[in-house]
């Protein structure tokens, strides 16, 4: 997959190098040509000097063939505009923006543009969003029998009761993250676009969890 990264700061350069290391083609955009030094001499992707929301700059970076776009410059406005252009003008499927203002982040999550804020987990979450990893193991207790998995709510589950997903997957939801805020779900919780769940399950049910998330309600039911 081709990925365009807008912003070659600490986060952008890390994402670009890691994406290239796992086999993706990468183009990096930055206004400052000196910023590309952060990529190191081994980086083989495209380096495009310009504004991340400029049409020609994006085309030079290969946005028309990109499967993912990350807007991770130091400015909220630039990231927001670039993410919207990538999504709305070029139809890029996986778009994520780094937003420092939490209130703005909520708005863009509702528009279907995932956002990240704090530095320690930015790179990991960006990679998950960009590569559309919907299910991942995040913790396993010492005996190895029970584990926690992080799920991204897929389109088929939006508007469905959380209890339906529990029934289909055989997993128990421990907590829900909505608009960047963790909360304990209630009996009547309905799943929304952008929700992330942390579920407790066992090895014997992990395949069932994957099927439920990837195939939706009909594929998850037995």
Query: What's residue 130's pLDDT?
Result: 67
Task: Report how far residue 81's alpha carbon sits from residue 213's, in angstroms, rounded to the nearest whole number.
Answer: 31
pLDDT in tens, the chain (222 residues): 899 999 999 889 999 998 898 889 999 999 999 999 999 999 999 999 999 999 999 999 999 999 999 999 988 889 989 998 998 999 998 888 888 777 777 676 666 676 665 444 456 666 666 666 577 777 888 777 898 988 888 889 999 999 999 999 999 999 998 877 889 999 899 999 888 899 999 988 888 988 898 888 974 444
Query: What's residue 120's pLDDT?
Result: 43
Helix (H, G, I), strand (E, B) or coil at 199: strand
Query: What's residue 222's pLDDT?
Result: 40
Query: What's residue 132's pLDDT?
Result: 64
Query: What's residue 59's pLDDT?
Result: 97
DSSP string over 115-170: EE--HHHHHHHHHHHHTT--EEEEEE-TTSSEEEEEEEPPGGGTTSBHHHHHHHH-
Task: Report how far residue 73's alpha carbon sits from residue 59's, in angstroms, rounded to the nearest whole number.
Answer: 18
Query: What's residue 100's pLDDT?
Result: 77
Query: What's residue 168's pLDDT?
Result: 95
Query: What's residue 136's pLDDT?
Result: 73
Give the up-direction half-sphere exposure of residue 99: CA atoms within 13 A in the CB hemisphere: 22
Q: Domains of the chain, with CATH numbers?
A: 2-130 (3.40.50.720), 135-220 (3.30.70.1450)
Task: Report how far residue 192's alpha carbon sits from residue 208's, in angstroms, rounded to the nearest whole number.
Answer: 21
Helix (H, G, I), strand (E, B) or coil at 176: strand
């Amino acid at each position: 997959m081709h990925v365009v990264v807008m912003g070659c700061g600490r986060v952008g350069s890390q994402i670009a190098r890691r994406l290239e290391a796992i086999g993706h083609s990468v183009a990096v955009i930055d206004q400052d040509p000196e910023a590309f030094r952060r990529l190191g001499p081994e980086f083989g992707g495209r380096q495009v000097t310009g504004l991340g929301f400029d049409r020609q700059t994006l085309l030079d970076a290969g946005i028309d063939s990109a499967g993912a776009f990350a807007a991770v410059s130091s400015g909220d406005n630039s990231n927001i505009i670039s993410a919207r252009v990538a999504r709305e003008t070029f139809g890029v499927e996986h778009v994520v923006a780094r937003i420092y203002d939490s209130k703005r982040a909520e708005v863009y999550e509702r528009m279907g543009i995932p956002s990240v804020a704090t530095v320690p987990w930015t790179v990991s979450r960006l990679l998950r969003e960009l590569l559309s990893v919907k299910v991942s193991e995040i913790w396993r207790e010492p005996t190895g029998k029970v584990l926690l998995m992080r799920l991204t709510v897929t389109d088929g589950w939006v508007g469905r009761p959380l209890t339906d997903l529990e029934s289909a997957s055989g997993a128990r939801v421990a907590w829900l993250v909505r608009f960047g805020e963790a909360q304990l779900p209630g009996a009547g919780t309905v799943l929304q676009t952008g929700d992330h769940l942390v579920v407790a399950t066992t090895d014997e049910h992990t395949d069932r969890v994957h099927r439920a998330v990837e195939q939706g309600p009909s594929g998850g039911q037995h």
